[in-house]
Structure 1
Amino acid sequence: MKSRWDQCELDRVTADYAKAGVSADLAIRTYTTRILGQEPLLVLHGGGNTSVKTTMTDALGDEYEVLCVKGSGWDMGSIEPAGLPAVQLQPLAALARKEALSDEDLVAAQRRMLLDPYAPNPSIEAVLHAIIPHKHVDHTHANAIISLTNQPDGEAIIRELFPDTTIVPYVMPGFVLAQEVRRILDETPDAKHLILINHGIFTFNDDPRQSYDDMIAMCDAAEQRLARGNPRPFKGASLPGGAALAEIAPIVRGALARETEIEGRPDRWVLDFRTSGQIRHFVDGENVGDYAMRGNAAPDHSIRIKRFGMVTSPAGCDDFAENLKAAVAAFADEYIAYYQRQNARAGGGFKQLDPVPRIVYVPGLGLFGVGKTAKEASICADIAEATVDVITKAEGIGRFVTLSEDDLFDIEYWSLEQAKLAKAVEKPLNRQVAIVTGGASGLGRETAAMLRKEGAEVALFDIDSDAVARVAEEIGAMPVVCDVTDPSAVDAAVAKVVEAFGGVDILVSNAGAAFQGRMLEVDDAYFQKAFALNYWSHHYMARACVTVMRAQGTGGALVFNVTKQVLNPGPDFGPYGTSKSALMALVRQYAIEHGADGITANAVNADRIRTGLLTDAFVAERARARGVSSDEYMRGNLIRREVTGTDVAEAFLHLAKARKTSGAILTVDGGNVAAMVR
């Protein structure tokens, strides 16, 4: 493992923070926390913490000895000084000598000791940091250390490799761990560092560089010890020919979806796929059903990915879909049984979490992280990759073992984590994946932003590569450059979305253009261009998305952008009106043919919206022709109000959510008698 220490960068960070009034101690701690957190082999998604002991003044000017320790919710890799809340040191350390203290009372006590009452909760391991008699304390869940400790003879391996370290047997994180470390430090006050069995490593020193260097050196030594083992310890299985990710992902996503008690709404999940040489060696192993389901690398992983993942049949086998459904059902049954026996052991009162696996290992392909959002799925996939690394290296030198079922349940159903889950509120479109065509501008951009705000994972399709990249970054979407008039390009682009998120649930087919001209005056090429964009592109998009939706088996929503020309045609817009009229027929046909699949198909009919099609100059020209102002022209409807892009986006959003409406036209024009549906 290589050191990330950069003295020039540290000096720059310290100088910059000094200008903002941040002390040198806190600036240095911020920098060293970041370089630890940016190494995924050391820290993943909350799996570690750091602290520094210093002095600070509160709002009244009173000075205190404090512990600045990583706060709850902060990522070590990008932490700011605000993520290291200051806690009064002496009363915090004194907590370790109490005979008993619940985790809830510990959290409350730590909050009372904060210098800033609005600061985030200090780490649950703050007391442990407080009792270590050194200024800087670093704690990580290093993969290499865990690979060594998660062995039947893990303690002996550690003692041989690090004869001067202090070993702490596994106990539950929080107050009990602080008590155990207090007892050990009382007996060995000159401890140089701590290695926690099945948990990780603590290094500490008054010199921040020395504490960091010790962490890197010890983890590097552990990596070198593991490197002496077999890098490919698993015997490969005989597998059928592989299958494409874009074909397998929707099947996996559909199998994970389960019916809820609320009107049979499918409980969709977002996927994050990973593969590599190491992952393939792991999932393609003959005994993957054994070692992949022994347990997690680190105890805190159970909070994210349950006790273990689920192994499917090989990706290329003929009955993959049926086997997968059976595997999901078996996983759920086993999880419910596990919960019931452990809940009884723990005294009852726990609310069962959902029984859906958060990692799916697919022989012949790779693994999927599973989450309610793309971010959550990515976190699970990151942890899955770490799990593969730890188990592979552990098996290379011996046999991977993990904590008991009791210990894993106690972590997964930790009261502090249960409280966080109780406060979590899902957005209406969490778990759903949407595609918006023509997404880089106008109505497409408005609609995509609204879908994203409602919680959907959004892919923006547009032919303008620069614009789609810019807008996607602004709203947090996936940019996809695609010519929607090219069927092969459409199929490839939809496959990219499936590979990124696991599937598709919503299509807002918005791309279009107002091709003008009289029927006898436009040439065939121009007419064909109008139909290519305003009709055929919508069919290509719908066809590709419906294929995915049917593979998932959880329904879906198709929403198309038509025009008032469909109902109220006007002169000089023949290519536009006729191609959009064909689109309206297409909408109804999809509604008829795929209603039984739970897929709705609806259309939005909007008029007089300021977009790239209806520019200010065009509006002014139309207004002059009618002898009115631009404002009067835009408000030329029954309710005398201008219709905006946001109004139309809300209509798209409504139809994307509407589960019992299909084949409908939702008009958004302020009232136009000639364009009313009859």
Structure 2
Amino acid sequence: MTPQAVRDLIARSNRLGADPTTTNYAGGNTSAKGTGTDPVTGGPVDLLWVKGSGGDLGTLTETGLAVLRLDRLRALADVYPGVEREDEMVAAFDYCLHGRGGAAPSIDTAMHGLVEAPHVDHLHPDAGIAIACAADGEALTKEIFGDRVVWVPWRRPGFQLGLDIAAVRAADPQAVGVILGGHGITAWGATSEECERNSREIIATAQAAIGSRGAAEPFGPVRPGFEPLPGAERRSRAAALAPVIRGLASTDRRQVGHWTDSDVVLDFLSRDKLEALAALGTSCPDHFLRTKVRPLVLDLPPAAPLEDAVARLRELHAAYREDYRAYYERHATPDSPAMRGADPAIVLVPGVGMFSFGANAQTARVAGEFYVNAINVMRGAEALSTYAPIPESEKFRIEYWALEEAKLARMPKPKPLAARIALVTGGGSGIGRAIAHRLAAEGACVVVADRDAGAAATVAAELGSADVAVPVTVDVTDPGAVAAAVDAAALAFGGVDLVVNNAGLSVSKPLLETTDADWDLQHDVMAKGSFLVSRAAARVMIAQGLGGDLVYIASKNGVFAGPNNVAYGAAKADQAHQVRLLAAELGEHGIRVNGVNPDGVVRGSGIFAGGWGAQRAAVYGVAEEDLGAFYARRTLLKREVLPEHVAAAVFVLTAGELSHTTGLHVPVDAGVAAAFLR
């Protein structure tokens, strides 16, 4: 049975973690002390429950808690070898675990165990960090909080910091918490309710001080010409720049992007102090571990010509990489981990917004959220005093901490399509839906494009959150709609790497019954539609400089001359030859173009359900419900082709094992001899 202390801890954690100004995603930790049962003796034992490494307060559950014996944890103070060897203490936590121990203990475990209070919160609130990062933070702490909150100078998280805070608690019984220089806050209480109340008191008092005593324009005046662009123009500019910036940010390893133009961001980017403050970088360890030591800032006004902005971004990126390498070389020791990459995680474009990057969409989004927290911190610090983050050398010690390196090494191996951005047309049903599911399952971010907005939204929701998939409504025969869909991919994830031209329909009629409208419809959707989508996507892929994949879902009918099928078969033949033509043209950009030729996919197919099945069944003289079995009987393998078989072929073509293959058509027809490629 879960102890009441643990239930209270989880509820408190979820409340605190729900507000990004109280603590950031996966940042901070909370704890409770109580009595449990020794699994060996059956007797009582004093325990500490504390949020484990890598967990998130807002979504914390009992499985995310580390559980330690309090007597053993506190006994570590007697064998603590000092700050020069304190990293060894993290491994020692494993010997303090109770039973199976739950989640892995974090570096902050000592803080919670050593402080003599039943409940402890360690949080990263914007207002608290603003005081922690102010040049005169110690004096401000005394002035704002009196003796209820005590200043603790900057110290890297670890066992010694836990001892420091425990000493404050012992020496200042009237104190309810501390401001941790350059870092955040810690509060405590006799009950879970009191602890949360003390945490919120510190945050609210800090917010009130900033609001009532702070400067009116802490970032300085608006720079003329650097005001935000109007909404539609801003979105268009962001879509044009996103692939270029993503390509630059992916120089060392492919990244997913996220764009935000929130009021907080746009205001900061318009102000006189932007470049000076951005150059100082963030301070709280949780911030700069995700945003890097500092952002890249475009130093041109929003109205500058696009080509000038692109050229300047390339210059700034080259300089950023040189500066980052110099930063690494200034501080690295023989024992330091190898440099992980010199590309920016945050790119700030005045008038347009912030582009953030990470190994997946969630990481990219969270990096941006952390930089918004950093903006709030800088605003508060500048309002009360002067923003003074921790020294660069301390940032390096944490960024290249052996414990951080070990945490990275424990991360699971990326999936085959990780950091790839896929656009699937006709993704709202049938083959397209199956392809979208397979690509998402293999790690891709997926843009589900369909003429039916509801179907696209349904499939995107099936795949997961907006960090996994987004829907777009598009008529592939409309160049403007196609361009908007590709722009949506750029704004959602930074660009596009993998396009599946799957949108289609079919009309089965003899030549003499095929109307001009039938012919135009078939060719507009499949031949012209594929051309428009490939053209728009290729522009983005070339701008990114990361290569890419175009996959056409053609048909065995592009090769096999079936009866009563002239419009459909001719349109599929057009698509099939586009594969060859574009493979020849786009190879120099590293863009591979391949096709998949399925036999009739009856089950789960929107085309067959929309009337094509009845038409083809009539041509072959079978009942419509028997059409799938009929197709299977005429194949060499006697197997019916399903949507997931087509999706498997798309995955094989794009997952990397066929990296030297382009201009190929892969039959997925269970063996139709008349459709053999020759």
TM over 0.5: yes
1:24-47 CA distances to partner (integer Å, 9 max, x unpaired)?
Answer: 221111111111011101111222
Residue aligned with 1:296, SS: coil
Name the stretch that deviates more: 363-372 or 189-198.
Answer: 189-198
1:253-294 CA distances to partner (integer Å, 9 max, x unpaired)?
Answer: 122232x6xxxxxx3221111223331221223342211020
Tell me, in whole angstroms, the C-alpha distance in 1 between the residues paired with 2:516 and 2:663. 31
2:29 maps to amino acid: N
Q: Does 1:676 align with 2:666?
A: no
Evaluate the alpha carbon distance shift between residue 188 and residue 100 of structure 1 in structure 2; reply closer, same or farther with a 3 A threshold: farther
Task: Look up the match of 1:367.
Answer: 354
Tell me, in whole angstroms, the C-alpha distance in 1 between the residues paired with 2:87 and 2:134. 33
Tell me, in whole angstroms, the C-alpha distance in 2 between the residues paired with 1:298 and 1:168. 14
Structure 1 segment 642-657 matched on structure 2, within 5 A: 642-657=640-655
Identify the match of residue 533 of structure 1 among 525, 533, 540.
525
Evaluate the alpha carbon distance shift between residue 466 and residue 103 of structure 1 in structure 2; reply closer, same or farther with a 3 A threshold: farther
What's the offset of the Cα at 1:240?
A: 7.0
Task: Look up the match of 1:667.
Answer: 667
Residue aligned with 1:520, SS: helix
Residue aligned with 2:45, SS: strand
Residue aligned with 1:643, SS: coil
What's the offset of the Cα at 1:296?
A: 0.9
- The answer to whether the 8 A contact 2:264-2:372 is kept is no
What's the offset of the Cα at 1:668?
A: 1.4
- The answer to whether the 8 A contact 2:115-2:162 is kept is no
1:602 maps to amino acid: N
What's the offset of the Cα at 1:630?
A: 5.8
- The answer to whether the 8 A contact 1:249-1:498 is kept is yes
Residue aligned with 1:65, SS: strand
What's the offset of the Cα at 1:104?
A: 5.0
Q: Does 1:229 align with 2:227?
A: no
Tell me, in whole angstroms, the C-alpha distance in 2 between the residues paired with 1:577 and 1:518. 12
Q: Does 1:548 align with 2:566?
A: no
Structure 1 segment 89-238 matched on structure 2, within 5 A: 89-100=70-81, 102=85, 104-117=87-100, 119-164=102-147, 165-227=149-211, 228-232=213-217, 233-238=219-224
Tell me, in whole angstroms, the C-alpha distance in 1 between the residues paired with 2:105 and 2:357. 29
Task: Look up the match of 2:449.
Answer: 461
Q: Does 1:283 align with 2:294?
A: no
Tell me, in whole angstroms, the C-alpha distance in 2 between the residues paired with 1:87 and 1:660. 53
What's the offset of the Cα at 1:544?
A: 1.6
Q: Does 1:567 align with 2:559?
A: yes
Question: % of aligned pairs identical?
Answer: 34
Structure 1 segment 5-20 matched on structure 2, within 5 A: none
Identify the match of residue 282 of structure 2 among 287, 292, 296.
296
Q: Does 1:587 align with 2:568?
A: no
1:401-434 CA distances to partner (integer Å, 9 max, x unpaired)?
Answer: 1101121111111211101222332222222211
1:583-623 CA distances to partner (integer Å, 9 max, x unpaired)?
Answer: 22333332233222222222111113333145697698758
- The answer to whether the 8 A contact 2:604-2:642 is kept is no
Tell me, in whole angstroms, the C-alpha distance in 2 between the residues paired with 1:271 and 1:384. 14
Matched residue pairs, number?
649
What's the offset of the Cα at 1:108?
A: 2.7
Name the stretch that deviates more: 182-191 or 384-393.
Answer: 182-191
Evaluate the alpha carbon distance shift between residue 87 and residue 518 of structure 1 in structure 2; reply closer, same or farther with a 3 A threshold: same
1:288 maps to amino acid: L
Task: Look up the match of 2:11.
Answer: 31
1:651 maps to amino acid: A
- The answer to whether the 8 A contact 1:146-1:200 is kept is yes
1:145 maps to amino acid: G
Tell me, in whole angstroms, the C-alpha distance in 1 between the residues paired with 2:452 and 2:388. 52
Task: Look up the match of 1:9.
Answer: none
Tell me, in whole angstroms, the C-alpha distance in 1 between the residues paired with 2:337 and 2:563. 68
Name the stretch that deviates more: 461-470 or 45-54.
Answer: 461-470
- The answer to whether the 8 A contact 2:226-2:350 is kept is no
Q: TM-score, normalised by structure 1?
A: 0.91
1:31-87 CA distances to partner (integer Å, 9 max, x unpaired)?
Answer: 111110111011112221111111122545443111111112321001112222321
Tell me, in whole angstroms, the C-alpha distance in 2 between the residues paired with 1:462 and 1:393. 45
Residue aligned with 2:35, SS: strand
Name the stretch that deviates more: 554-563 or 84-93.
Answer: 84-93
Evaluate the alpha carbon distance shift between residue 29 and residue 334 of structure 1 in structure 2; reply closer, same or farther with a 3 A threshold: same
- The answer to whether the 8 A contact 2:248-2:343 is kept is no
- The answer to whether the 8 A contact 1:96-1:178 is kept is no
Evaluate the alpha carbon distance shift between residue 130 and residue 627 of structure 1 in structure 2; reply closer, same or farther with a 3 A threshold: closer
- The answer to whether the 8 A contact 2:291-2:368 is kept is no
What's the offset of the Cα at 1:465?
A: 2.7
Q: Does 1:50 align with 2:27?
A: no
Q: Does 1:65 align with 2:46?
A: yes
What's the offset of the Cα at 1:628?
A: 9.3
Tell me, in whole angstroms, the C-alpha distance in 2 between the residues paired with 1:356 and 1:179. 37
2:243 maps to amino acid: P
Task: Look up the match of 1:385.
Answer: 372
Tell me, in whole angstroms, the C-alpha distance in 1 between the residues paired with 2:431 and 2:43. 56
1:340 maps to amino acid: E
Evaluate the alpha carbon distance shift between residue 96 and residue 199 of structure 1 in structure 2; reply closer, same or farther with a 3 A threshold: farther
Residue aligned with 1:46, SS: coil
Tell me, in whole angstroms, the C-alpha distance in 2 between the residues paired with 1:630 and 1:558. 29
Task: Look up the match of 1:5.
Answer: none
What's the offset of the Cα at 1:633?
A: 4.2
What's the offset of the Cα at 1:130?
A: 1.6
